[in-house]
């Protein structure tokens, strides 16, 4: 009985926290970090300002929590994609697909709202550099695998491949394209994949393939 009571309270608490996070994200997307004010978050959730501070003791904590959630989700996506079966190309394309879906949805836009707040940078760096690095190294492993299997051109430094790929993974131009619905995420994956994988393909193997 008591247990269920506690977990009910706890569940309500979690629920409210979700509402707060949701409202914050909304406002963040509309107005950015500075323009978002705690009064409005509270008002939009329908709670008092003080209540907000029972969940997040600083404005920073609120957006950091939001970001943490996003990054965890992304990292999870990356890890799933990376450890999936199939060719390196297909796995990277899965990543592109995930990212473009995200870019189109609200979550993806959050990053753009937050990365702009220069004063958050120190916080973002100190708490999330690790995550970003992890993300990049996962990709790196995959790209090296592609090189080892002869799929990718060994003449192109992995660093460059890596950063080129991540430039294509989350870019402002693509975000606009997707939001304007000029292309679907699927089309984008198809064409960007085509360009990138042709671009990094091992010419040797291409030659062999062209013979086939």
For a second copy, the binding residues (CB under 8 A) are 28-35, 112-113, 115-119, 156-157, 159-161, 163-164, 166-168, 171-174, 176-177, 182-183, 187-188, 191-192, 194-201, 207, 210
Of 54-62, 65-73, 116-124, 156-164: span binding DNA (CB under 7 A)? 54-62
If contact means CB under 5 to 8 A according to the sort of partner, which of a second copy, DNA, none does residue 144 touch? none
Q: Rounded CA gap, 212 and 210, in Å?
A: 5
Q: Rounded CA gap, 147 and 11, in Å?
A: 48
Q: Give me the sign of the Cα torsion angle 46, 49, 51, 54.
A: positive
> According to CB under 7 A, which one of 7, 30, 35, 106 is a site residue for DNA?
35
Q: Which is nearer to DNA, 124 or 142 (CB)?
A: 124
Q: Which is nearer to DNA, 63 or 192 (CB)?
A: 63
What lies within 8 Å, CB to CB, of 205 at 6+ separation is 150, 151
If contact means CB under 5 to 8 A according to the sort of partner, which of a second copy, DNA, none does residue 200 touch? a second copy
Q: Are 70 and 107 in contact (CB under 8 A)?
A: yes
If contact means CB under 5 to 8 A according to the sort of partner, which of DNA, a second copy, none does residue 9 touch? DNA
Min dist. Cβ of residue 85 to a second copy (A): 26
Q: Which is nearer to a second copy, 56 or 100 (CB)?
A: 100
How far is CA 26 from each of CA 2, 19, 41, 86, rounded to the nearest angstrom?
Answer: 36, 11, 9, 37
Min dist. Cβ of residue 144 to a second copy (A): 16
If contact means CB under 5 to 8 A according to the sort of partner, which of DNA, a second copy, none does residue 58 touch? DNA
What lies within 8 Å, CB to CB, of 86 at 6+ separation is none
For 44-67, the DSSP string reads HHTS-HHHHHHH-SSHHHHHHHHH
If contact means CB under 5 to 8 A according to the sort of partner, which of a second copy, DNA, none does residue 76 touch? none
Q: In 3D, which of 30, 34, 51 has the Cα closest to residue 42? A: 51
Residues that bind DNA (CB under 7 A): 5, 9, 12-13, 16, 35-39, 47-51, 53-54, 57-60
């Amino acid at each position: 009985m008591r247990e269920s009571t506690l977990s009910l309270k706890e569940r309500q608490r979690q629920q409210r926290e979700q509402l707060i996070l949701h409202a914050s994200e909304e406002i963040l997307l509309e107005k950015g970090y500075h323009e978002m004010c705690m009064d409005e978050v509270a008002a939009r959730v329908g709670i008092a300002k003080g209540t907000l501070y029972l969940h997040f003791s600083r404005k920073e904590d609120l957006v950091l929590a939001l970001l943490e959630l996003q990054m965890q989700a992304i990292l999870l996506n990356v890890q799933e994609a990376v450890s999936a079966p199939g060719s390196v190309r297909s796995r990277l394309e899965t990543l592109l697909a995930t990212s473009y879906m995200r870019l189109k949805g609200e979550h993806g836009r959050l990053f753009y709202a937050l990365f702009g707040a220069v004063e958050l940078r120190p916080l973002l760096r100190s708490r999330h550099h690790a995550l970003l690095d992890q993300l990049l190294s996962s990709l790196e492993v995959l790209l090296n695998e592609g090189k080892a299997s002869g799929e990718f051109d060994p003449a192109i430094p992995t660093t460059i491949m890596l950063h080129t790929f991540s430039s294509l993974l989350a870019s402002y131009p693509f975000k606009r394209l997707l939001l304007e619905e000029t292309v679907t995420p699927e089309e984008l994956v198809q064409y960007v994949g085509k360009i990138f994988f042709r671009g990094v393909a091992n010419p040797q193997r291409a030659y062999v393939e062209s013979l086939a």
